[in-house]
Amino acid sequence: MRIAFLGTPDFAVPSLAMLIRAGHTLQVFTQPDRPVGRHAVLTPPPVKKLACAHGIPVFQCEKIRMPEGVAALRAFAPELMVTAAFGQILSAENLSIPQYGCINVHGSLLPKYRGAAPIQWAVIHGEKETGVTTMMTDVGLDTGDILLARSTPIGEDETAGELFERLAVLGAEVLSDTIAALENGTLTRTPQDAARATKCSMLKKEDGHVAFADGMQQAHDRVRGMNPWPGAYALCEGETVKLWRTRKTALPPEGRPGTCLIADPRQGLFVDAGDGVLEILELQFPGAKRMDAKTALRGHDLSGKVLV
Protein backbone atom coordinates (compact mmCIF):
# COMPACT_ATOMS: atom_id res chain seq x y z
CA MET A 1 0.00 0.00 0.00
CA ARG A 2 1.11 3.56 -0.68
CA ILE A 3 1.32 5.21 2.76
CA ALA A 4 2.22 8.72 3.91
CA PHE A 5 3.67 8.37 7.41
CA LEU A 6 3.45 11.44 9.64
CA GLY A 7 5.44 11.13 12.86
CA THR A 8 8.27 12.76 14.76
CA PRO A 9 9.61 11.37 18.09
CA ASP A 10 10.77 7.97 19.34
CA PHE A 11 7.18 6.85 19.95
CA ALA A 12 6.61 6.79 16.17
CA VAL A 13 9.77 4.85 15.27
CA PRO A 14 8.49 1.27 15.88
CA SER A 15 5.39 2.00 13.78
CA LEU A 16 7.49 3.29 10.89
CA ALA A 17 9.87 0.33 11.24
CA MET A 18 6.91 -2.03 11.01
CA LEU A 19 5.67 -0.38 7.82
CA ILE A 20 9.15 -0.63 6.31
CA ARG A 21 9.36 -4.35 7.14
CA ALA A 22 5.90 -4.89 5.65
CA GLY A 23 7.12 -3.53 2.31
CA HIS A 24 4.74 -0.60 1.92
CA THR A 25 5.63 2.27 -0.40
CA LEU A 26 6.36 5.13 1.98
CA GLN A 27 7.06 8.80 2.25
CA VAL A 28 7.72 10.35 5.64
CA PHE A 29 6.41 13.75 6.74
CA THR A 30 7.92 15.08 9.93
CA GLN A 31 8.89 18.17 11.92
CA PRO A 32 11.95 20.25 10.97
CA ASP A 33 15.36 19.54 12.53
CA ARG A 34 15.66 21.25 15.94
CA PRO A 35 18.61 22.51 18.03
CA VAL A 36 19.35 20.09 20.86
CA GLY A 37 21.55 20.28 23.94
CA ARG A 38 23.77 22.92 25.48
CA HIS A 39 25.48 23.61 22.17
CA ALA A 40 22.20 23.73 20.21
CA VAL A 41 23.29 21.12 17.68
CA LEU A 42 20.75 20.93 14.85
CA THR A 43 19.31 17.41 15.19
CA PRO A 44 16.88 15.52 12.93
CA PRO A 45 13.79 13.88 14.47
CA PRO A 46 14.13 10.14 15.23
CA VAL A 47 11.63 9.31 12.48
CA LYS A 48 13.74 11.15 9.90
CA LYS A 49 16.85 9.25 10.98
CA LEU A 50 15.14 5.91 10.42
CA ALA A 51 13.66 6.99 7.10
CA CYS A 52 16.99 8.24 5.77
CA ALA A 53 18.70 5.03 6.84
CA HIS A 54 16.29 3.14 4.57
CA GLY A 55 16.34 5.59 1.68
CA ILE A 56 12.75 6.73 2.26
CA PRO A 57 11.99 10.28 1.05
CA VAL A 58 11.34 12.80 3.82
CA PHE A 59 9.38 16.04 3.73
CA GLN A 60 9.78 18.44 6.67
CA CYS A 61 7.58 21.43 7.42
CA GLU A 62 6.36 23.53 10.32
CA LYS A 63 2.69 23.18 9.34
CA ILE A 64 1.46 20.37 7.12
CA ARG A 65 -1.85 22.17 6.68
CA MET A 66 -0.17 25.06 4.83
CA PRO A 67 -0.16 25.06 0.99
CA GLU A 68 3.32 23.55 0.68
CA GLY A 69 2.39 20.68 3.00
CA VAL A 70 -0.86 19.99 1.16
CA ALA A 71 0.97 20.09 -2.16
CA ALA A 72 3.60 17.62 -0.93
CA LEU A 73 0.93 15.19 0.22
CA ARG A 74 -0.96 15.48 -3.05
CA ALA A 75 2.24 14.93 -5.03
CA PHE A 76 2.89 11.67 -3.18
CA ALA A 77 -0.77 10.63 -3.68
CA PRO A 78 -1.04 8.21 -0.73
CA GLU A 79 -3.77 5.60 -0.48
CA LEU A 80 -3.53 5.84 3.31
CA MET A 81 -2.11 8.34 5.78
CA VAL A 82 -0.77 7.19 9.17
CA THR A 83 0.06 9.52 12.04
CA ALA A 84 1.94 8.71 15.25
CA ALA A 85 2.91 11.55 17.58
CA PHE A 86 3.29 13.88 14.61
CA GLY A 87 2.88 17.03 16.70
CA GLN A 88 0.85 19.02 14.18
CA ILE A 89 -2.86 19.51 13.56
CA LEU A 90 -4.17 18.20 10.25
CA SER A 91 -6.68 20.12 8.18
CA ALA A 92 -9.78 18.79 6.45
CA GLU A 93 -7.87 19.30 3.20
CA ASN A 94 -5.02 17.09 4.44
CA LEU A 95 -7.45 14.39 5.49
CA SER A 96 -9.29 14.41 2.16
CA ILE A 97 -6.22 13.39 0.16
CA PRO A 98 -5.77 9.64 0.93
CA GLN A 99 -8.35 7.20 -0.40
CA TYR A 100 -8.65 5.33 2.88
CA GLY A 101 -8.32 8.34 5.17
CA CYS A 102 -5.91 8.74 8.06
CA ILE A 103 -5.19 6.28 10.87
CA ASN A 104 -3.71 7.66 14.10
CA VAL A 105 -1.76 5.67 16.68
CA HIS A 106 -2.61 7.14 20.09
CA GLY A 107 -1.00 6.26 23.43
CA SER A 108 -4.14 5.80 25.55
CA LEU A 109 -7.39 3.88 25.67
CA LEU A 110 -9.62 6.42 23.99
CA PRO A 111 -11.77 8.29 24.77
CA LYS A 112 -9.65 8.72 27.94
CA TYR A 113 -6.66 11.03 27.69
CA ARG A 114 -7.30 12.78 24.42
CA GLY A 115 -4.65 15.34 23.52
CA ALA A 116 -0.98 15.74 24.30
CA ALA A 117 1.10 13.69 26.77
CA PRO A 118 -1.49 10.93 27.41
CA ILE A 119 1.19 8.51 28.61
CA GLN A 120 2.63 10.88 31.20
CA TRP A 121 -0.74 12.01 32.53
CA ALA A 122 -1.95 8.42 32.92
CA VAL A 123 1.03 7.76 35.20
CA ILE A 124 0.65 11.05 37.08
CA HIS A 125 -3.01 10.27 37.75
CA GLY A 126 -2.16 6.85 39.13
CA GLU A 127 -3.89 4.81 36.44
CA LYS A 128 -3.42 1.05 36.77
CA GLU A 129 -4.01 0.37 33.09
CA THR A 130 -3.53 2.14 29.78
CA GLY A 131 -2.94 1.07 26.21
CA VAL A 132 -2.85 2.06 22.56
CA THR A 133 -5.75 2.94 20.29
CA THR A 134 -5.83 3.26 16.53
CA MET A 135 -8.48 5.69 15.35
CA MET A 136 -9.67 7.36 12.19
CA THR A 137 -8.43 10.91 12.34
CA ASP A 138 -10.97 13.68 11.89
CA VAL A 139 -10.70 17.45 12.38
CA GLY A 140 -11.33 17.18 16.14
CA LEU A 141 -8.72 16.51 18.83
CA ASP A 142 -8.53 12.69 19.02
CA THR A 143 -12.28 12.46 18.47
CA GLY A 144 -12.35 10.06 15.50
CA ASP A 145 -13.83 6.57 15.41
CA ILE A 146 -11.95 3.85 17.28
CA LEU A 147 -10.56 1.06 15.11
CA LEU A 148 -8.57 -1.23 17.42
CA ALA A 149 -7.35 -0.94 21.00
CA ARG A 150 -5.08 -3.00 23.20
CA SER A 151 -4.55 -2.53 26.92
CA THR A 152 -1.57 -3.09 29.21
CA PRO A 153 -1.10 -2.72 32.98
CA ILE A 154 1.04 0.08 34.36
CA GLY A 155 3.68 -1.09 36.82
CA GLU A 156 3.62 0.23 40.37
CA ASP A 157 7.03 1.86 39.94
CA GLU A 158 7.05 2.22 36.15
CA THR A 159 8.08 5.63 34.86
CA ALA A 160 6.48 7.47 31.97
CA GLY A 161 9.65 6.90 29.95
CA GLU A 162 9.54 3.15 30.50
CA LEU A 163 5.84 3.03 29.67
CA PHE A 164 6.46 5.20 26.60
CA GLU A 165 8.87 2.62 25.21
CA ARG A 166 6.44 -0.25 25.80
CA LEU A 167 3.50 1.56 24.24
CA ALA A 168 5.56 2.54 21.20
CA VAL A 169 6.14 -1.16 20.48
CA LEU A 170 2.53 -2.04 21.28
CA GLY A 171 1.40 0.77 18.98
CA ALA A 172 3.27 -0.74 16.06
CA GLU A 173 1.60 -4.09 16.70
CA VAL A 174 -1.88 -2.56 16.86
CA LEU A 175 -1.18 -0.52 13.71
CA SER A 176 -0.09 -3.67 11.89
CA ASP A 177 -3.33 -5.43 12.84
CA THR A 178 -5.34 -2.36 11.85
CA ILE A 179 -3.83 -2.14 8.36
CA ALA A 180 -4.24 -5.90 7.88
CA ALA A 181 -7.95 -5.58 8.73
CA LEU A 182 -8.25 -2.62 6.36
CA GLU A 183 -6.66 -4.60 3.54
CA ASN A 184 -8.85 -7.67 4.01
CA GLY A 185 -12.06 -5.68 4.48
CA THR A 186 -12.77 -6.61 8.11
CA LEU A 187 -11.93 -3.27 9.76
CA THR A 188 -14.77 -1.86 11.85
CA ARG A 189 -15.27 1.62 13.26
CA THR A 190 -16.71 2.43 16.68
CA PRO A 191 -17.70 6.03 17.52
CA GLN A 192 -16.20 7.34 20.74
CA ASP A 193 -18.41 7.93 23.75
CA ALA A 194 -17.94 11.67 24.27
CA ALA A 195 -19.43 11.43 27.77
CA ARG A 196 -16.44 9.34 28.87
CA ALA A 197 -13.82 11.54 27.24
CA THR A 198 -11.02 13.18 29.21
CA LYS A 199 -8.48 15.66 27.90
CA CYS A 200 -4.85 16.18 28.82
CA SER A 201 -2.60 19.14 28.18
CA MET A 202 1.01 19.39 27.11
CA LEU A 203 3.47 19.06 29.97
CA LYS A 204 5.06 22.17 31.41
CA LYS A 205 8.08 22.30 33.68
CA GLU A 206 5.97 23.60 36.55
CA ASP A 207 3.82 20.45 36.34
CA GLY A 208 6.78 18.62 37.84
CA HIS A 209 6.43 20.23 41.27
CA VAL A 210 5.92 17.57 43.95
CA ALA A 211 3.62 18.56 46.82
CA PHE A 212 4.25 16.04 49.59
CA ALA A 213 1.18 17.26 51.44
CA ASP A 214 -0.91 15.61 48.71
CA GLY A 215 0.08 12.18 49.95
CA MET A 216 2.58 9.41 49.33
CA GLN A 217 0.87 7.86 46.30
CA GLN A 218 0.33 11.18 44.54
CA ALA A 219 3.94 12.23 45.09
CA HIS A 220 5.20 8.87 43.85
CA ASP A 221 2.99 9.03 40.75
CA ARG A 222 4.11 12.56 39.88
CA VAL A 223 7.78 11.59 40.10
CA ARG A 224 7.14 8.59 37.84
CA GLY A 225 5.07 10.58 35.37
CA MET A 226 7.65 13.34 35.02
CA ASN A 227 10.54 10.97 34.30
CA PRO A 228 12.33 11.61 31.92
CA TRP A 229 10.84 15.01 31.01
CA PRO A 230 10.45 17.60 32.40
CA GLY A 231 11.52 15.97 35.67
CA ALA A 232 9.84 16.18 39.06
CA TYR A 233 11.25 18.58 41.62
CA ALA A 234 10.88 20.12 45.06
CA LEU A 235 12.51 23.12 46.67
CA CYS A 236 14.92 22.78 49.56
CA GLU A 237 15.88 26.08 51.19
CA GLY A 238 15.20 27.86 47.89
CA GLU A 239 17.17 25.45 45.71
CA THR A 240 15.55 23.16 43.16
CA VAL A 241 16.17 19.49 43.82
CA LYS A 242 15.09 17.12 41.03
CA LEU A 243 13.49 13.86 42.11
CA TRP A 244 14.00 11.05 39.59
CA ARG A 245 12.96 7.86 41.35
CA THR A 246 10.97 7.10 44.49
CA ARG A 247 9.55 4.12 46.34
CA LYS A 248 6.62 3.85 48.72
CA THR A 249 7.40 2.51 52.18
CA ALA A 250 5.51 1.19 55.19
CA LEU A 251 7.25 3.57 57.61
CA PRO A 252 4.91 5.64 59.79
CA PRO A 253 4.62 9.36 58.90
CA GLU A 254 4.99 12.09 61.51
CA GLY A 255 2.49 14.53 60.03
CA ARG A 256 5.15 16.92 58.71
CA PRO A 257 4.83 16.68 54.91
CA GLY A 258 8.07 17.31 53.05
CA THR A 259 10.30 16.77 56.08
CA CYS A 260 13.35 14.58 55.53
CA LEU A 261 12.83 12.10 58.38
CA ILE A 262 15.89 10.04 57.49
CA ALA A 263 18.76 11.46 55.44
CA ASP A 264 21.71 9.16 55.91
CA PRO A 265 24.32 7.94 53.37
CA ARG A 266 23.93 4.41 54.74
CA GLN A 267 20.15 4.25 55.11
CA GLY A 268 19.01 6.58 52.35
CA LEU A 269 16.53 9.45 52.10
CA PHE A 270 12.99 9.15 53.46
CA VAL A 271 10.49 12.00 53.25
CA ASP A 272 7.24 12.48 55.17
CA ALA A 273 4.33 12.59 52.71
CA GLY A 274 1.53 13.19 55.20
CA ASP A 275 -0.18 9.82 54.92
CA GLY A 276 3.01 7.81 54.42
CA VAL A 277 6.76 7.99 53.96
CA LEU A 278 8.32 8.10 50.53
CA GLU A 279 11.87 6.93 49.88
CA ILE A 280 13.80 9.05 47.39
CA LEU A 281 15.96 6.64 45.43
CA GLU A 282 17.50 8.96 42.86
CA LEU A 283 17.82 12.75 42.84
CA GLN A 284 19.82 15.62 41.44
CA PHE A 285 21.11 18.73 43.18
CA PRO A 286 21.71 22.01 41.29
CA GLY A 287 24.86 21.82 39.17
CA ALA A 288 25.31 18.10 39.86
CA LYS A 289 24.56 14.89 38.00
CA ARG A 290 21.75 12.49 38.74
CA MET A 291 22.79 10.04 41.41
CA ASP A 292 21.37 7.57 43.86
CA ALA A 293 20.28 9.15 47.14
CA LYS A 294 22.84 7.43 49.33
CA THR A 295 25.70 8.72 47.19
CA ALA A 296 24.18 12.21 47.01
CA LEU A 297 23.82 12.40 50.78
CA ARG A 298 27.58 12.03 51.23
CA GLY A 299 27.94 15.62 50.05
CA HIS A 300 24.58 17.11 51.12
CA ASP A 301 23.08 17.18 54.58
CA LEU A 302 19.28 17.03 54.32
CA SER A 303 18.56 15.73 57.80
CA GLY A 304 15.49 17.51 59.18
CA LYS A 305 15.20 19.78 56.16
CA VAL A 306 11.92 20.29 54.34
CA LEU A 307 11.18 19.73 50.65
CA VAL A 308 8.41 22.07 49.48
- Tens-digit pLDDT profile for residues 83-130: 999 999 999 999 999 999 999 999 999 999 999 999 999 999 999 999
Per DSSP bridges, beta strands 80-84 and 2-7 are parallel
Structure confidence at residue 175 (pLDDT): 98
Task: Judge residue 277's burial from the number of C-beta atoms within 10 Å of its C-beta, 0-12 exposed, 13-18 middle, 19 or more buried.
Answer: buried
pTM of the model: 0.96
CA distance 172 to 126: 25
User: Percent of the chain having pLDDT more than 70?
Assistant: 100
Structure confidence at residue 210 (pLDDT): 98
Compute CA 211 distance to the chain's CA centroid, rounded to the nearest angstrom.
22
We find that the CATH architecture of domain 2-200 is 3-Layer(aba) Sandwich (3.40)
Query: Do 10 and 19 meet the contact criterion of CB atoms below 8 Å apart?
Result: no
Structure confidence at residue 255 (pLDDT): 95
Which residues of the chain carry a pLDDT beneath 50?
none
Q: Which CATH number applies to 205-296?
A: 3.10.25.10
Structure confidence at residue 38 (pLDDT): 84
Q: Where are the domains of the chain?
A: 2-200, 205-296
Structure confidence at residue 37 (pLDDT): 87
